[in-house]
């Protein structure tokens, strides 16, 4: 099967770029022909697709400017849209406002988020975005025009369907998930990332990395990895770490990532902790797994969240590290411990007793992490770090369960299996060949492409209304007619969008 794959790829240094490279390689090894379309190659897609249409087009979306170039293609050439984040407002608003398309932003927010007062757009236009962007997903257009939408986790899938159930001008009588987003149109697939760390590699990484930073071999090391942003809760972690030191005087904190420009923590904030805190700065991807394997506990807190699954967290699971996470909706399927009671937060399947409490086995009900209630963050985080700093048996048990869970749910092979299943559904005709599910999107999202030409002809009195708009053509066409229409659209839409970064 021939597949077109729109995504950033290495050397772009993002988790999605790394995941795309891994899954494309896996699908290629399974006999599928996958053509990669990063930003630098996307302009070649329209003519290639017109000459020989692809069987499936896959679009990878995350909440960053690396995906700006993908929007026109996803809206013009329906395919499978993979939402690594189900909140894309930050990136989408940044693109529209950077290009001074304020009216387009107003229209798109009003249409995509019908439950939000349209005047709220003025907050973003004025630069007062803050955390409000997390509450306004701005993904309705992608869902409405795609053949299939994939997210990571069943809880994420259910939330997305619910978020799109609010009626708008296209679905005025809808009170349940509207006609444009039937349940079968949105699916959950597994996200594969990381590599299994063997005991031998762990021992080598522990010795080597700790030696580089002068961290004692017997120190209990907590690690935070990835860009150091306020969402990673660094201030809260530092406060809990200070409270942990009386119980574990040899504890150490490793901050492994570049400090973001908007970070609320600086080196001065950790000066009182002296050599107990190491700020590594940016860690290249090829060294990240060894850094994670060298710590005893990985702290992977997130708030607020765009419903993303943390790449460093998946690497920590693959390395067999006990982890501390925030109890978030999209992680509802993760069996975890509540540090306030040390009971299992979600007891399912084998490994639970009559009271719903977990037992220490290797089944699906085994806790793999400690989850922090964001409403009790400071208290719960102190409890979790103190217990992990002093309980070697708990660290080992959580680590073993984490690695087994990763092999089952987050290995590259598991992810490739899910993608291949979808490819098979497309090949069988189970998934419609033409995208769109009955919901008309605002005009600026799917322009005809000749607006500039028509504007130039107006002063000369030329008739610019004689040709029917491509966007208004009937959707029901024969396959050859559909391909011809796609080709005409591609000729106008295939240019690279301006100012992508």
Task: Identify the pLDDT of residue 452.
Answer: 75
Co-location of 186 and 206 in the same domain: no
> What does the pLDDT read at residue 166?
67
- The verdict on residue 204 lying in a domain is yes
Is residue 322 domain-shared with residue 203, that is, in the same domain? yes
Give the count of domains, the chain.
2
**CATH number of the domain within which 17 lies:** 3.40.50
- Considering the domain architecture, whether residues 252 and 399 belong to the same structural domain is answered as yes
pLDDT value, residue 361: 40
Q: Is residue 271 part of a domain?
A: yes
Last residue of a domain, one of 351, 385, 410: 410
Pair (370, 427) in one structural domain: no
pLDDT value of residue 501: 36
Given a contact cutoff of 8 angstroms between Cβ atoms, the answer to whether 44 and 16 are in contact is: no
Does any domain span residue 476? no
Residue 472 lies in a domain: no
96 shares its domain with 188: yes
Say whether both 286 and 389 belong to one domain.
yes
CA-CA distance, 220 to 208, in Å (whole number)?
A: 16
Same domain? 380 vs 359: yes
- Residue 456, domain member (yes or no): no
- Kindly state whether residues 164 and 250 are assigned to the same domain: no
Assess if residue 132 is contained within a domain: yes
- Residue 205 sits in which domain range? 199-410
C-beta atoms surrounding 99 within 10 Å = 14
**Final residue belonging to a domain, choices 410, 437, 458:** 410
The pLDDT of residue 498 is: 36
Domain edge (last residue) among 446, 462, 495: 446
Q: Is residue 500 part of a domain?
A: no
With a cut of 50, list the residues of the chain below it in pLDDT: 170-182, 347-363, 467-501
Do 125 and 141 share a domain, yes or no?
A: yes
Cis check: omega of the bond before 75, within 30 degrees of 0: no
Is there a contact between 186 and 149 (Cβ–Cβ < 8 Å)? yes
What is the pLDDT at residue 466? Answer: 55
Q: Are residues 215 and 84 in the same domain?
A: no
Q: Examine residue 304 and say whether the peptide bond preceding it is cis (omega within 30 degrees of 0).
A: yes
Q: Are residues 404 and 419 in the same domain?
A: no
Q: What are the tens digits of pLDDT across the range 426-471?
A: 777 777 766 666 567 888 887 766 777 777 888 888 776 654 443 3
| Residue 393: inside a domain | yes
Q: Which residues of 252-282 are buried (b: 16+ CB within 10 A; e: fewer)?
A: bbbbbbebbeebebeeeebeeeeebbbbbee
Domain with residue 381: its CATH number is 3.40.50.2000
Q: Tell me the per-residue pLDDT of 50-72, one tens digit each, with 9 for 90 and over.
A: 999 999 999 999 999 999 999 99
Same domain, yes or no: 285 and 221: yes
Instruction: Give pairs for 468-476: CB < 8 Å, separation 24+.
Output: 471/443, 471/446, 471/447, 475/434, 475/436
Question: Of 20, 325, 28, which is closest to residue 192 (Cα–Cα)?
Answer: 20
Q: What is the pTM of this model?
A: 0.80
């Amino acid at each position: 099967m021939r597949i077109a794959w729109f995504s950033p790829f290495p050397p772009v240094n993002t988790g999605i770029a790394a995941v795309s490279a891994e899954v494309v390689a896996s699908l290629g090894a399974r006999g599928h022909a996958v053509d990669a379309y990063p930003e630098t190659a996307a302009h070649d897609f329209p003519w290639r697709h017109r000459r020989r249409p692809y069987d499936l087009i896959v679009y990878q979306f995350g909440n960053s400017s690396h995906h700006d170039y993908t929007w026109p293609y996803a809206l013009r050439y329906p395919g499978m849209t993979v939402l690594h984040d189900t909140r894309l407002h930050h990136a989408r608003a940044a693109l529209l406002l950077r290009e001074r398309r304020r009216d387009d932003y107003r229209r798109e927010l009003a249409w995509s988020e019908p439950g939000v007062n349209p005047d709220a757009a003025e907050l973003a236009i004025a630069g007062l975005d803050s955390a409000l962007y997390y509450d306004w997903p701005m993904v309705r257009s992608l869902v409405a025009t795609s053949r299939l939408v994939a997210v990571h986790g069943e809880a994420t899938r259910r939330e997305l369907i619910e978020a799109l159930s609010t009626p708008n001008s296209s679905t005025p009588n809808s009170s349940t998930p509207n006609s444009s987003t039937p349940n079968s149109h949105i699916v959950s697939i597994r996200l594969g990332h990381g590599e299994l760390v063997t005991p031998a590699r762990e021992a080598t990484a522990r010795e080597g990395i700790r030696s580089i930073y002068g961290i004692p071999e017997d120190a209990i090391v907590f690690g935070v990895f990835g860009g150091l942003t306020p969402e990673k809760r660094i201030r809260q972690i530092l406060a809990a770490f200070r409270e942990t030191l009386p119980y574990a005087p040899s504890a150490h904190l490793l901050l492994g990532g570049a400090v973001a420009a908007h970070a609320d923590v600086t080196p001065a904030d950790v000066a009182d902790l002296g050599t107990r805190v190491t700020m590594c700065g940016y860690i290249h991807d090829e060294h990240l797994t060894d850094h994670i394997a060298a710590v005893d506990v990985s702290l992977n807190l997130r708030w607020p969240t765009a419903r993303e699954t943390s790449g460093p967290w998946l690497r920590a699971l693959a390395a067999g590290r006990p982890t501390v996470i925030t109890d978030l909706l999209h992680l509802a399927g993760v069996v975890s411990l509540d540090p306030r009671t040390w009971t299992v937060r979600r007891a399912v399947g084998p490994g639970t007793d009559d009271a719903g409490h977990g037992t220490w086995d290797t089944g699906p009900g085994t806790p793999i992490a400690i989850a922090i209630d964001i409403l009790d963050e400071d208290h719960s985080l102190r409890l979790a770090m103190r217990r992990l700093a002093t309980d070697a048996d708990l660290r080992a048990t959580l680590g073993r369960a984490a690695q087994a869970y990763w092999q089952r749910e987050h290995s590259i092979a598991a992810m490739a299996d899910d993608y291949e299943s979808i490819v098979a559904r497309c090949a069988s005709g189970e998934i419609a060949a033409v995208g769109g599910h009955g919901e008309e999107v605002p005009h600026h999202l799917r322009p005809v492409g000749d607006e500039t030409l028509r504007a130039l002809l107006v002063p000369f009195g030329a008739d610019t209304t004689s040709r029917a708009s491509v966007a208004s053509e009937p959707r029901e066409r024969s396959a050859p007619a559909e391909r011809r229409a796609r080709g005409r659209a591609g000729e106008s839409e295939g240019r690279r969008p301006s100012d992508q970064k």
